[in-house]
A and B are shown apart, each in its own frame.
Chain A
Amino acid sequence: MLKCTFCGRRAAYNRRYAGVLLCDRCLIKSVEKRFRRAIAKYKLLLPGERIAVAVSGGKDSVVAMHLLVEHCKLKNCELVAITIDEGIKGYRDQSMAIVRENAKSLGIEHFVVSFKRIFGATLDQMARRARARKTELNPCTYCGVMRRSLLNQAARELEADKLVTAHNLDDEVQAIMLNYVRADFSRLHRLGPAYSPREGFVPRIKPLREIPEKEVALYALLRGLKVHLAVCPYVGGIHTEIRDFLNQLEANHPNSKFMILRMFDRLKPQLAGIVPEFEMRRCKSCGEPTSAIICKSCELLKGLGLRRLRKTLNSPKSR
């Protein structure tokens, strides 16, 4: 039996990048400590703030929700949860039940905003339209752009000071690599523990950014949290290839993910002068902030022959 480096109990995790073995208790403590440290180090949250957390029901967002509840008790913050229901049959419908259960047991107000209600079509319907129209865009493009926009809008309408997303180390490093591969300079530049506020946007923060995906999963499992462990039917393409490549790299060379993150964080301040500043205006069609005449969501909808049905979410309370 292999023992925890710190307390001698049976080890549950080999943290190879640090050369230590951790038992269940020490792993849980360590994850909680890293979460608090990220908040303090990057000043992600201030006492008394109203926090909105984006929750899908997957392990990352459920863990974020549980950690935030503790934080809010100590720092006198208010917490609300937002779920975007994209309308992915057999996937989001299942995870929604899990979010509701967690929100209820934690006593958090929970709001749901659905694609169907706002855009008049579910993601499944959009995917079918995209195929029929041969737009050559995959469902993730619609999903990502529209979900981000609705999350921001919901957080803004709920008067949140911050919007928490549950991106872990793996998510962040994958995003760094993806933006390298696509040479997407402006997206790359927006990555980081916090996305600086601009008018019309609720600042987005990522307190799990320095916790590896496997440690988030272990935290959820060891604490016995109710999480949705399923894979979206649309996942695939280059995202998956980059994820697999990074996992291979980490398995063969522990600490690679952290090194990529640290290098990016050191380079990022140097990028500030190079990225063109866009003037923010309001989308002609829906009024949401954008740097173009119409926002990306409206542009994508137009390409599908759809249009936004509602401008405001009108207190999108969960039913």
Chain B
Amino acid sequence: MTYIKVTVKQVGNKHKREFRLGPHATIADLLKELGHNRETIVVRCNGKIVVEEERLADGDLIEILPIVTGG
């Protein structure tokens, strides 16, 4: 396979989007593409909170949780 496909969900937003990435892509690569700063979010991969350096696998469900809240 020359690329992998992952589904991205932003928590608090019903939209789901599919992304195609290179075979060695990490969550950090995906975040860069989406324009997210790791300081401001937590990432769940298939339901588990994971570090941004984890490799993505074909079919992963990625949830992005914004944590900078309040006022």
Smallest Cβ distance from A77 to chain B, in angstroms? 26
Q: Which one of A12, A24, A235, A248 lies within 8 Å of B37 (CB-CB)?
A: A248
Which A residues are within 8 Å of any B CB, using their own CB?
1-2, 10-14, 21, 24, 56, 58-60, 91, 140, 143, 213-214, 217-218, 221-222, 228-232, 234-235, 243-244, 247-248, 250-251
Known: A2-B53, A12-B51, A14-B51. 13 other contacts (CB 8 A): A2-B51, A14-B53, A59-B69, A59-B70, A91-B71, A213-B39, A214-B42, A222-B49, A234-B71, A235-B71, A244-B37, A247-B68, A251-B37
Task: Evaluate contact between B70 and A231: CB separation under 8 angstroms.
Answer: yes
Q: Which one of A10, A56, A58 lies within 8 Å of B48 (CB-CB)?
A: A10
Task: Evaluate contact between A217 and B54: CB separation under 8 angstroms.
Answer: no
Task: Evaluate contact between B50 and A10: CB separation under 8 angstroms.
Answer: yes
Interface secondary structure of B, over-half rule: loop
Q: What is the interface residue range for chain B against chain A?
A: 20 to 34
Which B residues are within 8 Å of any A CB, using their own CB?
12, 37-40, 42, 48-54, 65-71
Smallest Cβ distance from B20 to chain A, in angstroms? 23
A-B contact count (CB 8 A): 73
Q: Which one of A140, A217, A218, A248 lies within 8 Å of B71 (CB-CB)?
A: A140
With A59-B69, A229-B66: A218-B49 Cβ-Cβ less than 8 Å: yes
